[in-house]
Chain A
């Protein structure tokens, strides 16, 4: 039977077949939404990145083509501007560390709650969902006061009361860059952990109990069960959560925006790539949408490559293999 899908080598033929198929009608609404809210904005961004658009003067600049000028400026800034350099270093550190916290934290929580009684597990999980349920501004404000570099800051207040410090520590601005990085990783890490935890918990609940019971009968410890049964069975979920979180971390900026704006963390080492794009397009003295669009397009390309690598490394193609049919 010939394999027919949009991924076939005869792309056009495949596309035609897809349009004619029932699937196209089934997916029409979803595809329409994707086109309107993703594809078209991406096309506009790509177009904008080839124009000198600034100060939102679309009437004047949208028709001018400047070729790769914005891309050249972007890489020139990256090579020469100390602030832009720090932004990219920060992005790399932030994404790597927060991703580790999100995936490993979520996994540890799911496994830990698996071994405690159900009631306690439910309460614990609810607690970890709080960061995700709290509005962004409120959640950021909590950590703003927690890390505040004065005696009103929770950490400083405690250390001061304990007599461990004589004057407040400015973690986000004074300990550069690791203090700033620690705060942004901590704040975003806590939000992301709950996501992995939910996915992993529901996956663990679907693992046949017989496997665990049999292992217990054979004298396996919690650690053995985790290592030999739970983690291998969660492989696809780990793949999914890692990829998903990687891509969302590359594009997240809401908490960071507030923490930088309020001065809790250093501007250069609290700003990531996506926040830099936002600032360049909307906030700087000269709002430079052409440059921001170029930086955005490169971010999309980098995200796509990283997403692709993650899926390849973890064997996504094996996950989407059709059922073998030897039931």
Chain B
């Protein structure tokens, strides 16, 4: 038998005995040093955290800012860094630049008072706010989440539940005057289990836009329609008839189109328009209202079957399909939001009939093209609705973590982050955001500013903005949108808030909302009937023990109901 070539010969025994004593010794020393260094680090960190520095808030903004600035300077801090993230439509960039501007204003106060500290803010703005939320969650434990995030209030429940955002209630005790300027319904939306976790940043209504030119082409008279909708005299069945008329007359390719991807928040309006429930206040549970959800599905299905609503609607592209279809008049109606009003004025969705080139609409064109109403009642006897999803400025419970001596100066960093948000709620910052992004103002003082025509007329130069970065970033949008027509639109659409509804603040609501999106997609594509889609939802809820526990399933699928009668 020949010796195995893989085995060392006996002459190499010395090499073949594995690690030598020296090697083993080196490895042991490395491990020991690592362990000792780790323990030392933990012990010293702990010691430093023993003596945290605090500053009491007085409720006077300038005093508080100066006190914090002086305390920071006394500990050798020259620069405080914060990160702010947000997302949404392209015009809502003040959701991050508001904080940049607030930082510039606070730095200016410090400069005036001889405090040598400055704040620098890093921003990130995404088109999809859900990605911002997902990243916030996944980066939080890693210590890479932003210090401040502006996002839908609907995320407050899960973020507060996980301890990822700061409870602002104790800070706001000293700032009650500041809080009173906000509309109380919006402050209520910021609460979770009795505590306030966010400061309202904006809110909105979701009108149905109807193309005036398409209606005229089809011989549809829109006079007084908004009032009929308001009184519940015009329902989804009536909109269906108008859509059919417009399509049959060859005036539009589609009757109505809506958002893609998600059912939350726009399509949830259907549930409320059929007087369905999504949340039970008494039990604190989510609700699947089978009757209302069935009617929602059946309504959309009726539109899709008649070729009035694309069957692949949930897969359309916002920039390439949805907006161009709306602004080029290829649909009679669009389930949109107030912010689209100015988005159409800044993004090149419109194809100019004269040149064939894409360009944004002007304020005058938007005004001439679009009629708007509330979301009609689902059926006679029910009420019209709209849905608001206030944005909230939320503060990381570890805000300021990227700055030196965080354990010792944590209180200062957290309070400074809070004061940044307070400053970012200045009336002019909020009013600028409202004008350029067509969101409704959240404070009474911002609304008053919007009503001041001389302030609006002077806005193009952004006289109150301190930060050069903010000026540069928003001047183009301001130039296109700071227009009395847009202010009038905001004023005119504000009545819709009287009819507004909210989605539940429940940690599992985002999960339920995803199921709705899956179900309506299947209904529109024809893979499930409205009835099967409701059963699909029931089985998905029952298949998840957590959700089964958290959701009440109420009502029955009505037999023989159809939109068209």
- Interface of A with B (CB < 8 Å)? 1, 19-25, 55-60, 73, 76-77, 79-84, 149, 170, 173-174, 176, 263, 266-267, 282-287, 322, 325, 327
Contacts and interface: CB of A to CB of B under 8 A. Distances in A.
B45 interface: no
B interface secondary structure, majority: helix
A173 B525 contact: yes
The 5 A-B pairs at the shortest CB distance, nearest first, are namely: A285-B510, A263-B315, A81-B543, A80-B543, A285-B511
A57 B141 contact: yes
Nearest to B17: A20
Interface of B: 1-2, 4, 6, 8, 12, 15-19, 134, 137-138, 140-141, 158, 162-164, 312, 314-315, 507-514, 518, 521, 525-527, 536, 539-540, 542-545
Given A77-B544, A284-B511, A287-B134, 12 more contacts: A55-B158, A56-B140, A56-B141, A59-B141, A59-B163, A80-B539, A82-B536, A83-B518, A170-B525, A263-B315, A283-B134, A285-B513
Nearest to A80: B543
B540 A76 contact: no
B18 A19 contact: yes
B540 A82 contact: yes
A84 to B, nearest CB: 7
A322 B6 CA distance: 11
B545 A73 contact: yes
Contact of A77 (B6, B19, B137, B543): B543
Contacts of B8: 21-22
Contacts of A20: 16-18
A177 to B, nearest CB: 10
A23 B16 CA distance: 8
A21 B4 CA distance: 14
Nearest to B261: A263
B141 A83 contact: no
Nearest to B140: A56
A25 B12 CA distance: 14
B536 A176 contact: no
A43 to B, nearest CB: 19
29 contacts: A20-B18, A25-B18, A25-B19, A55-B162, A55-B164, A56-B138, A57-B141, A57-B163, A59-B141, A73-B545, A77-B544, A79-B543, A81-B544, A82-B543, A83-B540, A170-B312, A173-B525, A174-B525, A263-B312, A266-B527, A285-B508, A285-B509, A285-B511, A285-B512, A285-B513, A286-B158, A286-B510, A286-B511, A325-B2
Contacts of A170: 312, 525
Contacts of B4: 322
A25 to B, nearest CB: 7
B539 A81 contact: yes
B519 to A, nearest CB: 10
Contacts of B158: 55, 286
B493 to A, nearest CB: 29
Nearest to A267: B518
B1 A176 contact: no
* Interface-centre pick from A23, A55, A266, A285 (highest chain B CB count, 10 A): A285
Contacts of B16: 20-22
Contacts of B527: 176, 266
B543 A287 contact: no
B17 A286 contact: no
